[in-house]
Amino acid sequence: MMMLRLFEDGDGNSHFEEVSVPLALVNASPPAKPVYFSEAAGATRWSLCRCPVGWYGELHAAPRRQILVCTAGALRMTTSLGDAKEIGPGCAVLVEDTKGRGHESLVISDLPFDAFIVALE
């Protein structure tokens, strides 16, 4: 399964890359049929986030490593070097640019941007 990753390099600039998350067939809930799962990763807490229409987050580093999953609306994330990606419903982003210059965020939809965020260890 593919996931978008936002990270910083040694110079403090943020970048996007597509990463492949391996899945394995797991008999997780017998008698239900097996389904595909990634390897479990440690997480410390979760939260819901809503950014109002037109909200702009100037250049900032992420407060922690986290996975952001958009549930409604759309957000444009722009790296410190100007590469932009639109994050819409169902899009998951592994956010790891916790140091350096960070990224900008702008709500680009006509409704609030809603997301489910999982803080990673």
pLDDT in tens, 15-36: 999 999 999 999 999 999 999 9
Entry pTM: 0.91
**What are the structural domains, with CATH classification, of the chain?**
2-120 (2.60.120.10)
Strands ordered across the beta sheet of 75-79: 56-60, 103-107, 75-79, 84-87
Average pLDDT value for residue range 107-120 = 98
pLDDT in tens, 39-93: 999 999 999 999 999 999 999 999 999 999 999 999 999 999 999 999 999 999 9
For 78, list phi and psi in degrees, rounded to 5.
-125, 125
The neighbouring-strand residues paired with 2 are 20
